[in-house]
Chains A and B, each alone.
Chain A
């Protein structure tokens, strides 16, 4: 097998472990594994073991005991092992219980009252802890969001700090004439900042797609989604752009396409500029 071919199979190990290969690729990769490829088998074993660490980081929690019975009785044959034997009381025992005196001493009532009080305290504490952990969870999510925000700003700054920048202004077209846009990019690193204002919120199952136009042909430069009113007012995104000098292209356009994008523009053009 050629080195490049082996390398491309190795590249498939991560998406395979994450279950993100399409059925065709998965079948092909499994057929390759069946040939006994040593590097891929080793890589896969390491990845499986590394990813198996993830659930160890969660708080361990036993499922309800009834699930065990359901799991074991669902399997078709064999002996059922019961974890604990809870024998059904015999009729005589039941009758004996029915006959048992029902009078309860005051001490017993204190016991019940204490038990109920303890349960109430536990419920209140559980609610408090749950609320606290929700707050912490919310704050952790906020920290992640802020880190993402900070990273985006760093990326914007790194583009703006470039010695050379290319800029293309985009104007709104008929479906959305109030929209305006700007694409600023570093022709050396080929990283771009997209900025749009007044671009309508993306409808369900659709995405905006950016096209680079060169000698009448359109090439996709990526997709994006305007998710809410805030983004409608002002949207920006940093992305890789496969174009260097401005002279290499005739302009850009933005169209509305089915989710996932199209190979060629099929929907209405919302913005255009050169």
Chain B
């Protein structure tokens, strides 16, 4: 599991120490956590909300949440890394839904193209060098995802589309969307498990 890798590399322990300090309102600790994870959560926010300005707002809201609610992290529900990712995604999705409500496109009209981070090799992100090998390995493991499974996962995770919306957009039966989403998640879980075992 991812947690195994994070524990093995000592990252989860360091994160736990930082979180304890954040609970005591140590802003330097928040700065260190930000330096470690902002290169991962910023492209995530950018991928969801589509503009740098809003992605920056998401980061502010997410780290303010971490600052205010550090005590709300429950270790049994996953690593601190996965908690930070979930906090950031939730903030970005909230913003996306609000935006969709405000600017419901007219029928047949396509939304303006969004700024989407590329997929590919890492640049920068010196703070999370420990992840580099892991990330490459995860990418290799996830080659088993079909394009369609990947697309459905992305539409669910980044675009927050319901399964029926996805079925409508891809013009597929809802049952196929459900099964492909489950299969995609299963492959992600297997990749996370496989990496943990080989760690």
Contacts and interface: CB of A to CB of B under 8 A. Distances in A.
B55 to A, nearest CB: 7
Contact of B27 (A41, A50, A72, A148): A72
A114 interface: no
Contacts of B175: 240
B77 A71 contact: no
Nearest to A140: B147
A48 B76 CA distance: 11
B122 A70 contact: no
Contacts of A19: 89-90, 93, 160
B14 interface: no
Contacts of B49: none
Contact of B31 (A46, A81, A191, A225): A81
A78 B25 contact: yes
Given A18-B160, A72-B30, A228-B108, A63 B55 contact: yes
A228 to B, nearest CB: 6
A24 interface: no
Interface residues of B, number: 87
Contacts of B47: 55, 58
Contacts of B189: 46-47, 50
A115 interface: no
Interface string A42-69: 0011111111111111111111100110
B191 A53 contact: yes
B61 to A, nearest CB: 9
Interface in A1-40: 14, 17-20, 33
B35 interface: yes
A49 B134 CA distance: 13
B31 A55 contact: no
A143 interface: yes
> What is the interface residue range for chain A against chain B?
35 or more
A144 B85 contact: no
Contacts of B124: 60-62
A79 B26 contact: yes
B44 A55 contact: yes
Contacts of A14: 181-182, 185
Nearest to B182: A14
Nearest to B106: A204
B168 interface: yes
A52 B35 contact: no
A62 B42 contact: yes
B138 A79 contact: no
A237 B172 CA distance: 8
B125 A60 contact: yes
A53 B138 contact: yes
Interface of B: 1-3, 25-28, 30-32, 34-35, 38-44, 46-47, 52, 55-56, 59-60, 63-64, 67, 76-79, 81-83, 85-86, 89-90, 93, 104, 106-108, 117-125, 128, 131, 134-135, 138-139, 142, 146-148, 151, 153-154, 156-158, 160, 162, 168, 170-176, 181-182, 185, 188-189, 191-192
6 contacts: A48-B82, A53-B138, A58-B47, A62-B124, A68-B38, A78-B27
Given A48-B78, A60-B122, 13 more contacts: A49-B78, A50-B192, A54-B153, A54-B157, A54-B158, A57-B138, A61-B46, A75-B30, A143-B147, A144-B151, A227-B108, A239-B173, A240-B173
| Closest 6 pairs between A and B when the two form their complex, measured CB to CB | A78-B27, A48-B78, A52-B82, A55-B44, A81-B31, A60-B125
